[in-house]
Structure 1
Amino acid sequence: MTKASHIGRLWSVTEVATYLGVSIKTLYQWKWRGEGPPVRKIGRHLRYEPDALYAWLTSDAV
C-alpha cells in the first residue's frame, strides 16, 4: 500500500475556514506569515490534510 492510498481527501480552504470559524482571508494570511495549520499548495490551491489539522488544533501552537 502506498502512502497516498491511505491519506484520504484533502480539505479546501473553504472547508477549513468553515470548520475553524475563520475567514478564508485569515487562512491565506496565516500561510503567508508561516502560522496556522500545516498547508500544502497544489497548483494555485491550498489544501489541508485533516489529520494534520486536528494535530495542529490540539497542539500548543494554537
Structure 2
Amino acid sequence: MQPQTEQDPASLALLSGWITRKDLAQALRVTVDTLGRWEARRVGPPCVRAGRMVLYRRRAVQDWLAAQEMPRAKVAGGRT
C-alpha cells in the first residue's frame, strides 16, 4: 500500500510511512468519497495534501482507529 511514486529509492524511503487515500479506503472498506467527506467534516483520520495526492500517516491512522474504539457494553446485573 505505497503511494504511487517514481520507483527511485529516495522517493520510496520518503513516503514509506504514508498511505494513499485509495489504499486507505480499500483497507477500511469505505469509498474514496467517504474519506473525502470525513476530511471535509474533520471526523476522519488526519491527512496531508501533496499536490493532487492525499496522504495519511500510517501511525496517525492507527491512533485514529484506536480513538474510535467503543467501550464494552455492560451486561445486566453489573457484570461485564
TM-score range, shorter chain: 0.7 to 0.9
Report the AA paired with residue 48 of structure 1.
Y
Match of 1:28 among 30, 36, 53: 36
Q: CA RMSD in A?
A: 2.3
In the alignment, structure 1 segments of 5+ residues that lack a partner are: none
Report the AA paired with residue 57 of structure 1.
L
Equivalent residue, structure 2, for 1:11:
19
Q: CA deviation at 1:6?
A: 8.4
TM-score by length of 2: 0.62
> Which 4+ runs in 1 deviate beyond 6 A?
none
Cα deviation, 1:2-44, whole Å, max 9, x if unaligned, reads xxx7873310011100111100000011111111001111112
Is residue 43 from structure 1 mapped to residue 51 from structure 2 by the alignment? yes
Equivalent-residue separation in structure 1 for 2:56 and 2:68 (angstroms):
19
* Aligned-residue identity in percent: 28
TM-score by length of 1: 0.78
- Provide the secondary structure at the position in 1 that maps to 2:44: coil
